[in-house]
Amino acid sequence: MKPALAKATESDTLEEVGRATLQVVHDLKNQLNGLKLYATFLRKRLEQNDRAQEERETLSKLIAGLDRAARDMTALVRYAKPMEIRRQPHVDLRKLVLDNIRAVAVQQGKSENFIACEIDEVDLRGQFDSLALSQAIAAITEQTLVRGTVNDRLTVRLQRVDTAPDEALIEWLQENPRDSIISGRQSIEGHANVHTALAAKIIKAHGGRVEFEPKRIRVWLSLSR
């Protein structure tokens, strides 16, 4: 009986640590948001006083770093919590993929020609949580763009796969990544960062599956309506 009691105690301790960690992350995110407000105020003052460009650029980089840290913390909290999927019927997966790929390209300073989209001209509608799935697609697209070399275009394919039930297959392909899309610096359940880990969790919550390879990432989603 002692080993079972020890395991139960260890499990309770881990749950307590997990809850405390989430609270700390939540508090840190609030502090980061406060720091961002101060930094934004200082940047506006510098712009009004026509201060040196280097000083304004430094504050802009600081604000961008605070944004990234807050975004990482938000993703970590979402990853740690049970995933709730709110499906809507007849969601057009083609539009959802294209919109998010274009948004990420703009965010990363890439032209639309930098990403080659190969999408089947077939019915690709299904029951999806548009918001959650959009976040997953954007996270994977951003991850593959970061891994790619400066001149290496990203290819994104979307096609219907004849299975039972029918599925959509989304594929991100980098011919010459700087390193493996999922490198040795993995952090959460074999994923490169918390955002790709959260993306995989969202896809699995939809009943789909995800496959990470050195040069490509594949996602399968059911198209049942």
Measure the CA–CA gap between 79 and 204, rounded to whole angstroms.
12
Measure the CA–CA gap between 50 and 43, rounded to whole angstroms.
10
What residue ranges of the chain have pLDDT lower than 50? 1, 181-190
110 Cβ contact partners less than 8 Å away, ≥ 6 residues apart: 145
pLDDT of res. 187: 44
- Give SS3 for 156: strand
**Number of domains within the chain:** 2
Measure the CA–CA gap between 167 and 220, rounded to whole angstroms.
6
User: Considering 63, 80, 97, which residue would you say is the last residue of a domain?
Assistant: 80
User: Considering 49, 80, 111, which residue would you say is the last residue of a domain?
Assistant: 80
What is the domain range of residue 163? Answer: 88-222
Measure the CA–CA gap between 184 and 191, rounded to whole angstroms.
10
- Residues 66, 129, single domain; the answer is no
Element (H, E) at 127: strand 125-128
Asked if residue 199 lies in contact with residue 136, where contact means CB atoms within 8 angstroms, the answer is yes
- Residues 113, 204, single domain; the answer is yes
- Residues 126, 210, single domain; the answer is yes
First vs last Cα of the chain: how many Å apart?
Answer: 49
- Residues 74, 104, single domain; the answer is no
**CATH code of the domain containing 101:** 3.30.565.10
pLDDT of res. 153: 78
Measure the CA–CA gap between 175 and 210, rounded to whole angstroms.
19
- Residues 65, 134, single domain; the answer is no
User: Considering 59, 80, 101, which residue would you say is the last residue of a domain?
Assistant: 80
Q: Which two tokens stand for residue 101?
A: 């790929």
- Residues 65, 125, single domain; the answer is no
Helices (H), 49-173: 53-80, 93-107, 130-147
Asked if residue 114 lies in contact with residue 59, where contact means CB atoms within 8 angstroms, the answer is no
Cα 175 from chain centre: 21
- Residues 64, 151, single domain; the answer is no
- Residues 70, 152, single domain; the answer is no
- Residues 160, 199, single domain; the answer is yes
Closest CA to 104 of 142, 150, 151: 142
Asked if residue 131 lies in contact with residue 121, where contact means CB atoms within 8 angstroms, the answer is no
Strand partners of residue 168: 160, 221
- Residues 93, 75, single domain; the answer is no
- Residues 76, 136, single domain; the answer is no
- Residues 132, 173, single domain; the answer is yes
Measure the CA–CA gap between 197 and 79, rounded to whole angstroms.
8
pLDDT of res. 171: 94
Closest CA to 187 of 134, 143, 130, 129: 143
Measure the CA–CA gap between 84 and 176, rounded to whole angstroms.
36
